[in-house]
Amino acid sequence: MIATRLAARRFAGAVALLAAGILAASSARAQSDYPNQPITIIVPFAPGGASDFAARLLQPRLSELLGQQIVIENRDGAAGNVGMDLAARAKPDGYTLFLGNVGTVSINPYIFASLRVKPLQDFVPVSIVADTPGLLIANPAFPPNNVKELVEYVKARPGEVNFASPGTGSVNRLEMESFRREAGLDMVHVPYKGGAGPATADVMGGHVSLMFVTISSGINHVKGGRLKALGVSTKERVAQLPDVPTMTEQGYPKSVSSSWQGILVPAGTPQPIIDKLHKAIVETMKDEKIRARMAESGVIAVSSASPAEFKAYIEADAAKWSGVITEIGVKAD
């Protein structure tokens, strides 16, 4: 009786071992021949926007390097939270990638209290792909021509100068809030809805004096003389706008920021897959054609030295913005 029970237990153990072995083997095989099916990139914004633009630019080359078709799925809504939620709950097998950006990953968690996703826990960063600097623009008739003059002008008129933003919780608003604190300026915030377009139009029409925009949405208006640029939020000047000084050189080193975009995968994705993706993304971002296309609109094609470096980058970015958010007290729900 005891013997049979023992035998049974031994048998069960053997079966369990065998099953584990098969599972391990199959998962190892799944990793080694990854990717063997099309890969989906979830873009949490509508087609035609900056994120979609970045995803579609790198799609052909990345697909070529990985030897698999890459499908871009636009799942917009709730400031990108809908798509982020979907991506976070996807199977962590390397077949669902998430195109995160400064808004979804670094800002939204501190603005939307009801957000279920905790980006730094639910995702593993792979690599940054695009660095989109912020551009401080103003109506051409607005007297100050650089940041120094702006600070003097606003200090002489506390609470009189208005600045626009594409939304209460947008990175462009936070960039201005951060600069405003650094320089000790009292200005009125005028929020807009529906992307940078409507806000830019009102700065162009002279209804609001100035705002931060992403360089890609401002560069053409600046080059066309419709708007003037007072500063750019990079450490070094941007090649496309060589005459525009950085915020740092004008004395505001804290005003270094970027509307970055990068690839993340759901937490639990096997490390070999992450490494393989990282290698392919780094290679993709070296592509001259992609670099040139991004540069046309002032965007800098970049990649992270390692997934860990990207993680550190996001952590620093999130810490910076959450600090600004706490200070000014923006909160939804």
Partner 1 sequence: MELFNDLLLGFSIALTPANLAYGFLGVLLGTIIGVLPGLGPVATISILLPVTFALPASAALIMLAGIYYGAQYGGSTTAILVNLPGESSSVVTAIDGYQMARKGRAGLALATAALSSFFAGTIATVIIAVAAPALAEVALDFGPADYFSLMLFGLIAAVILAHGSVVKAVGMILVGILLGTMGIDANTGLERFTFGIPAFGDGIDFAVIAMGMFGIGETISNLERGGESRTFLRGVRGLWPSWTDIKSIIRPAIRGTALGSCLGLLPGGGPVLASFSTYALEKKLAKDPTRFGKGAIEGVAGPEAANNAAAQTAFIPMLTLGLPSSAVMALMIGALMMQGLSPGPQLMTQRPDLFWGLIASMWLGNLMLVVLNLPLIGIWVKLLSVPYRMLYPAIMLFCCIGVYSIHNNALDVTMAALFGGFGFICHRLRCEPAPLLLGFILGPMIEETLRRALLISHGDPMVFVQRPISLSFLILAFCLLVVLVAPMIRVTRQKAFEEGAE
208 binds partner 1 (CB under 8 A): yes
38 binds partner 1 (CB under 8 A): no
**Could you say which DSSP state residue 208 is in?**
S
> Nearest approach, Cβ of 150 to partner 1 (angstroms)?
18
Q: How far apart are CA 305 and CA 291, in angstroms?
A: 17
109 binds partner 1 (CB under 8 A): no
The answer to whether 139 and 197 have CB atoms below 8 angstroms apart is no
Q: Which stretch binds partner 1 (CB under 8 A): 62-70, 101-109, 158-166, 271-279?
A: 158-166
Closest CA to 196 of 164, 231, 225: 164
120 binds partner 1 (CB under 8 A): no
> Nearest approach, Cβ of 173 to partner 1 (angstroms)?
10
> Nearest approach, Cβ of 236 to partner 1 (angstroms)?
23
For residue 300, list its beta bridge partners: 131
296 binds partner 1 (CB under 8 A): yes
Contact with partner 1 (CB under 8 A) among 205, 239, 242, 243: 205
Task: Give the number of other Cβ atoms within 10 Å of residue 169's Cβ.
Answer: 21
Q: In what order do the strands lie in the sheet with 228-232?
A: 188-191, 162-165, 210-214, 134-138, 228-232
What SS3 class is residue 259? Answer: coil
Residue count (the chain) = 333
Q: How far apart are CA 166 and CA 212, in angstroms?
A: 9
> Nearest approach, Cβ of 75 to partner 1 (angstroms)?
8
> Nearest approach, Cβ of 257 to partner 1 (angstroms)?
20
> Nearest approach, Cβ of 219 to partner 1 (angstroms)?
8
Interface with partner 1 in residues 82-101 (CB under 8 A): 82, 85
Between residues 18 and 46, which has the closer beta carbon with respect to partner 1?
A: 46
239 binds partner 1 (CB under 8 A): no
Interface pattern 254-283 for partner 1 (x via CB under 8 A): ------------------------------
190 binds partner 1 (CB under 8 A): yes
HSE-up of 179 (CA within 13 Å, CB side)? 32
DSSP per-residue letters across 167-207: -TT-HHHHHHHHHHHHHT---EEEE--SSHHHHHHHHHTTS
Helices (H), 89-192: 108-111, 119-122, 147-156, 171-183
333 binds partner 1 (CB under 8 A): yes
The answer to whether 144 and 230 have CB atoms below 8 angstroms apart is yes
159 binds partner 1 (CB under 8 A): yes
How many residues in the shown chain lie near partner 1 by CB under 8 A?
54
Checking DSSP bridges between strand 70-74 and strand 39-43, what pairing results, if any?
parallel
Contact with partner 1 (CB under 8 A) among 237, 279, 293, 311: 293
> Nearest approach, Cβ of 259 to partner 1 (angstroms)?
15
Q: How far apart are CA 28 and CA 7, in angstroms?
A: 31
> Nearest approach, Cβ of 186 to partner 1 (angstroms)?
12
> Nearest approach, Cβ of 78 to partner 1 (angstroms)?
4
Contact with partner 1 (CB under 8 A) among 30, 90, 201, 267: 201
47 binds partner 1 (CB under 8 A): yes
Work out the burial of residue 29: count CB atoms within 10 Å of its CB; fewer than 13 is exposed, 13-18 middle, 19 or more buried: exposed
Residue ranges binding partner 1 (CB under 8 A): 46-49, 52-53, 56, 72, 74, 77-79, 81-82, 85, 111, 114, 159-160, 162, 167-169, 188-195, 197-198, 200-202, 204-205, 207-208, 216, 219-221, 223-224, 226, 293, 296-297, 330-333
